């Protein structure tokens, strides 16, 4: 996959993309990330990228001639152009999975009071990371890039990691434990020490259902439950242990 990011502040991406999973994905050539400075496509001595809005009002608006030139310069036939915008679709795991299927993403980071509306005809999608105000689209572009890259085959090393994470299937992740087995009088659940893989799998699924019910119940509203999940939900609702947990 190739991800091209159009921004007015390219230096913001240097450190986040030089660490952790994104760095390893780039080194393994699973993804190529290019950062483009929108100012490089502006003409004139001052490389002006914005101007006052027609009709008056506060703030500045990104110029169509500059931004469209930038998009056209890097766009490929298979590219999907995404504008990071508060008016866009709210980013979730399903959208991240959808975008991970594209060969080429172009992420446009907005700034100031937004874009000249004529630029929108060159935009395929708008994505928001939440209902709050940020200075620009750079941080949302980082969030989106991270969410998409970790879904690419081979990035996490163990593809089960992505499948078991929170929101991967509309369920939150189960609680995790490591050594020591007892710390400050708090013990690791006995079932995790049993070595019984089926009991552990079932316990983890039950914990995922319980956590989702308590923390994000809206995720369960449209879910199609398996027979096992229905059984575990009944155990949760009636606060009883299953035969698997007793044995």
Q: In whole angstroms, what is the distance from residue 120 CA to residue 124 CA?
A: 8
Q: What pLDDT, in 10s, does the model give residues 169-182? A: 889 999 999 999 99
Q: Exposed, middle or buried by CB within 10 Å (0-12, 13-18, 19+), for 221?
A: exposed
3 state DSSP class of 14:
coil
- Residue 84 has a pLDDT of 97
Helices 20-27 + 138-149 axis angle, to 10: 60
- Topology classification of domain 182-246: 1.10.1270
Interacting residues of 29 by C-beta distance below 8 A, sequence separation 6+? none
- Residue 243 has a pLDDT of 59
- Residue 239's pLDDT band (cuts 50, 70, 90): confident
Q: How many C-beta neighbours within 10 Å does residue 131 have? A: 7
| Predicted model pTM | 0.88
Q: What pLDDT, in 10s, does the model give residues 39-48? A: 999 998 899 9
Q: Exposed, middle or buried by CB within 10 Å (0-12, 13-18, 19+), for 84?
A: buried
Q: What is the CATH number of domain 2-158?
A: 3.40.1280.10
Q: Do domains 2-158 and 182-246 have the same CATH topology?
A: no
Q: In whole angstroms, what is the distance from residue 82 CA to residue 107 CA?
A: 5
**pLDDT, mean over the chain:** 93
Ranges of each domain in the chain: 2-158, 182-246
């Amino acid at each position: 996959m190739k991800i091209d990011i159009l921004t007015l502040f390219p230096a913001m991406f240097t450190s986040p993309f030089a660490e952790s999973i994104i760095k390893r994905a780039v080194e393994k050539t699973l993804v190529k990330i290019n950062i483009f400075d929108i100012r490089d496509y502006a003409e004139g001595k001052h490389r002006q990228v914005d101007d006052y809005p027609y009709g008056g009002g506060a703030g500045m608006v990104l110029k169509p001639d500059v931004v469209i030139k930038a998009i056209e310069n890097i766009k490929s036939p298979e590219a999907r152009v995404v504008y990071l915008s508060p008016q866009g679709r709210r980013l979730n795991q399903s959208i991240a999975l959808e975008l991970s299927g594209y060969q080429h993403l172009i992420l446009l980071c907005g700034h100031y009071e937004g874009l000249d509306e004529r630029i929108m005809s060159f935009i395929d999608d708008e994505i928001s990371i939440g209902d709050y105000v940020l200075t620009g689209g750079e941080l949302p572009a980082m969030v989106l890039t991270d969410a998409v890259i970790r879904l690419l085959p081979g990035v996490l090393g163990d593809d089960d990691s992505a499948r078991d994470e929170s929101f991967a299937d509309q369920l939150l992740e189960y609680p995790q434990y490591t050594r020591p087995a007892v710390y400050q009088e708090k013990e690791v659940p006995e079932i995790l020490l049993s070595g019984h893989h089926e009991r552990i799998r079932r316990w983890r699924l039950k914990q995922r259902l319980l956590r989702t019910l308590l923390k994000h119940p809206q995720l369960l509203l449209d879910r199609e439950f398996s027979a096992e999940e229905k059984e575990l939900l009944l155990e949760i609702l009636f606060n009883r242990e299953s035969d698997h947990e007793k044995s």
